């Protein structure tokens, strides 16, 4: 459980602005950095964050692949200063992704459910 002493002074308690989430590092189960959060996807009806899009690969941000991750699969780690997940970079090899010149079809329920199925997170 986080306590106030563990949070940066410029944070808003347990809340964080979306602009600060974007760019935050994501670490795998082996505690090695696997990428950074590029954007968050918010459910319009519930207002809850549903997915984070992880940027991985490429060079200097060019040629990155984009991996949608269920938000529930990420936990903030104050020691690492970023999010940690149960996967590793190797696990991303077969994960749902899209490239620089394409976008994920968020209105395709089967594709979105496939994200959750891949990571073993129930679809809500």
Q: For a pLDDT cut of 90, what percent of the chain falls above it?
A: 60
Residue whose C-alpha is closest to residue 41's, from 62, 6, 15, 67: 67
Superfamily of domain 15-119: PRC-barrel domain (2.30.30.240)
pLDDT of 11 strictly over 80: no
User: So where are the chain's domains?
Assistant: 15-119
The secondary structure of residue 58, as a DSSP letter, is S
Average pLDDT of the chain to the nearest whole number = 85
The pTM score is: 0.81
Residues in the chain: 124
pLDDT tens, position by position, 30-79? 999 999 999 999 999 999 999 999 998 765 555 688 999 999 999 999 99
Residue whose C-alpha is closest to residue 97's, from 62, 59, 53: 53
Question: What is the spatial distance between Cα 5 and Cα 25, in angstroms, rounded to a whole number?
Answer: 21
């Amino acid at each position: 459980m986080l306590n106030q002493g563990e949070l940066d002074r410029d944070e808003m308690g347990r809340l964080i602005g979306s602009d600060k989430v974007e760019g935050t590092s994501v670490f795998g189960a082996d505690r090695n950095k696997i990428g950074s959060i590029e954007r968050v996807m918010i459910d319009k009806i519930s207002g809850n964050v549903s997915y984070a899009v992880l940027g991985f690969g490429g060079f200097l941000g060019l040629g990155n692949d984009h991996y949608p991750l269920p938000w529930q699969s990420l936990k903030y780690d104050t020691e690492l200063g970023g999010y940690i997940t149960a996967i590793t970079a190797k696990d991303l090899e077969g994960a749902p992704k899209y490239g620089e010149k394409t976008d994920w079809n968020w209105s395709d329920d089967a594709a979105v459910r496939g994200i959750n199925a891949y990571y073993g997170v129930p679809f809500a």
